[in-house]
Structure 1
Amino acid sequence: MGSGQSKSADTAVSGTLSIPPTQPTFGNTPVSGASPQFVTVPGSNSVIDPAAFFKYGFPGPVNDVQYHDEFVSSYDRRMRNPGWVVEHITAESLRTPPNAPPVDRKKSVFKEDLTIPELFRGRLADYFRSGYDRGHQAPAADAKFSQKAMDETFVLSNMSPQVGDGFNRDYWSHFEDFCRRLTKEYTNVRIVTGPLYLPKKDADGKYRVTYEVIGNPPNIAVPTHFFKLIVAEQPLKDLKSDKVAVGAFVMPNAVIPNSTPLKSFAVPVNALERSSGLQFLTKLPNNQRKELCQEVTCEIIVRDFKKALPGK
């Protein structure tokens, strides 16, 4: 190595170290459609080449980014949960277009995501008698503009285990309704939703992250919390405004009384970033942001949503 002898193209040469570039994926396929090409980093004096292992395959982690009609999602293979789901809703998208075929939720069925490798895929049997709902991260009610869009929200890669009564079928549903009602005040509403695994303080004063795992074998993590980041653009009262209303909310995956103020779950965006490991709004200057709950009344309206059976 020190003599400057060359090595194969996928290993290091004198003064360089080979590394694979980060490559986004669509489902399980790199966006480029090609295998990762290794590049060299100048200045390395190492006499070994650990990166040569990658000629046998890159271990990951792999984020399965999937594009659907109503949402885009990134799947977390380790937790068997979405890492995040992104939506764009408008007043128009929340209703079926005139003269279009009717959209019926009863026609939609839960299904496994066959684009995820079987080893890492959530299965219907994993939720059976688990005591948890298959909780949509992108809600079916946000996809009324076509049957295909609604059907796609029922794929298991859009699901997380959620407490049913008192949360998924109650407070969380009312929160989703709050997001939809924002389309009456803003032209565009963009939402990021996802699970969190947060620490809690134990009796010994130390903080630990503890979560249940369901399935057989137990593979699907049960999140301790869920978040939504809401970005509301172009208020109808001032369409020329370049200001964007931003609100971040974190809720426990637990029974929440409907009397609980929605604002009690509001958190700073940077606190959500720290907890999730995600970055939001990096291209949105602070001087263009407004606090959502200072622009609108942040509160839920309790509605009698149709109940779904746990694990169904």
Structure 2
Amino acid sequence: MSKTPWMIALAILSAPAFAAPTTCPQFYAGGVAPDINKPAMAKKTKEFCYSAFDVMNSGVTLTPLWSAEYLTPKSIAAAAKLDRKGNFHAEDRLPEAERAELDDYEKSGYDRGHLSPNHDMPDRDAQQESFVLTNMVPQAPKVNRGLWAEIEKTVRQQVQAGNSLYVITGPMFEGSSLTQLNKRVMVPTAVFKAVYDPKSQRAGAYVVTNDRNAPDIKAEIMSIAALEQRLKINLFPAIPDSVKSTRWPLPDPTGPTTTGQSKATAATTSTHGRRAH
């Protein structure tokens, strides 16, 4: 029986880690990029080093596996002076069969959701780079335009308070039934944002279910170790296990929800961008 793309993607989700050397060590704690702990997940991967973030693209899911940033008070202060600007575009350095196209998102009901946000970009060139589809995943509009935007803002506020942070953002593909856009681009079941503060030696992650039909959208806050167990990716190979296993109680992101209730729940152990134009 031939394997469909979603069957291959599920195989992603048993074997030694894959750790390709990064061309963008400045965006990773200790200069070390994530290790992929599932060989199938490493198939058809390609790194793209942009000026303000680094991406590992998957030619299987046609999405990034992650997008990494190093945010400093200086870079965020520069970003704050810029209004939102940029045009969505495909990454033409990828083979057509391994890249998402604008047409894949057209009338799909999903936003082209930034992983490394436009509002983190310190200059116009970086802003335009952030609109590349290798930095996008299909995101439910109520997630992308609501709670996820608040999480992005909350992380920036931590940086504005004087904390330089390593941030890795990406999709999660869990379960036996996955959706595709245009029979090509995988739709994540959830999205995560992992945050590490090297000065205070604290780390934690937000996870948000990517469900268009959920009556309410909430963020789960968990340890990096718990997230890595679910992802099968070692996000921060260079930081101590003790830091990864201790959950940083990240701020509850504020802003509107569909019910007006609190949007973040804490997970002490293992648990479970932007509009399209």
Match of 2:84 among 105, 108, 111: 105
What letter matches 1:71 in structure 2? F
Alignment partners' CA distance in 1, 2:74 and 2:125: 16
TM-score by length of 1: 0.65
The Cα offsets for residues 118-156 of structure 1, whole Å up to 9 and x where unpaired, read as 12111111111010000001100000x210011100001
- 5+ residue gaps, structure 2: 1-17, 24-41, 258-272
Please give the alpha-carbon distance, in whole angstroms, between the structure 2 residues aligned to 1:73 and 1:22: 14
Say whether the 8 Å CA contact 2:112–2:274 is kept in structure 1: no
Determine which of 190, 197, 207 is the counterpart of 1:250.
Answer: 207
Confirm or deny: 8 A CA contact 1:25 1:63 kept in the other structure.
no
Which residue does 1:95 correspond to in 2? Answer: 77
Gaps of 5+ in 1: 1-20, 27-59, 200-208, 235-242
Return the letter of the residue paired with 2:222. V
Paired residues for 1:75-94 under 5 Å: 75-94=57-76
Aligned residues between the structures: 226
Match of 1:221 in 2: 186
Give how far 1:105 is off: 2.4
C-alpha distance in 2 between matches for 1:25 and 1:284: 17
Counterpart residue number, 2:155: 179
- Determine which structure has greater relative contact order: mean sequence separation of CA pairs < 8 Å that are 6+ residues apart, divided by chain length: 2
Cα distance in 2 for partners of 1:160, 1:76 equals: 11
* Partner of residue 117 from structure 1, selected from 95, 108, 111: 95
Tell whether the 8 Å contact from 1:258 to 1:302 is kept in structure 2 after alignment: no
**In the alignment, does 2:236 pair up with 1:281?**
yes
Shift in alpha-carbon separation, 1:186–1:258, aligned structure 2, 3 A = farther
Contact 1:109/1:154, CA 8 A, preserved across alignment: yes
Aligned ranges 1:63-74 → 2 under 5 Å: 63-74=45-56
2:110 counterpart (132, 135, 144): 132
- CA-CA distance at 1:70 after TM superposition: 1.2
CA contact (8 A) 1:186 1:233 kept: no
After superposition, the Cα gap between the structure-2 partners of 1:308 and 1:72, relative to the gap in structure 1 and judged at 3 Å, is closer
Whether the 8 Å CA contact 1:73–1:84 is kept in 2: the answer is: yes
How far off its partner does 1:308 sit? Answer: 6.6
The residue type equivalent to 1:128 in the other structure is E
Farther off after superposition, 151-160 or 284-293: 284-293
Q: How does 1:1-312 map to 2 (within 5 A)?
A: 61-96=43-78, 103-106=82-85, 108-143=86-121, 145-164=122-141, 166-199=142-175, 209-215=176-182, 218-234=183-199, 243-254=200-211, 260=218, 262=219, 265-287=220-242, 291-293=247-249, 298-302=251-255, 311-312=276-277
Deviation, 1:300, is 1.1
Q: Secondary structure at the match of 2:239?
A: coil
Q: Distance in 2 between matches of 1:86 and 1:213?
A: 24
- What is the rounded CA distance, in whole Å, between the counterparts of 2:222 and 2:191 in structure 1? 12
Shift of 1:22: 8.1
State TM-score, norm by structure 2. 0.73
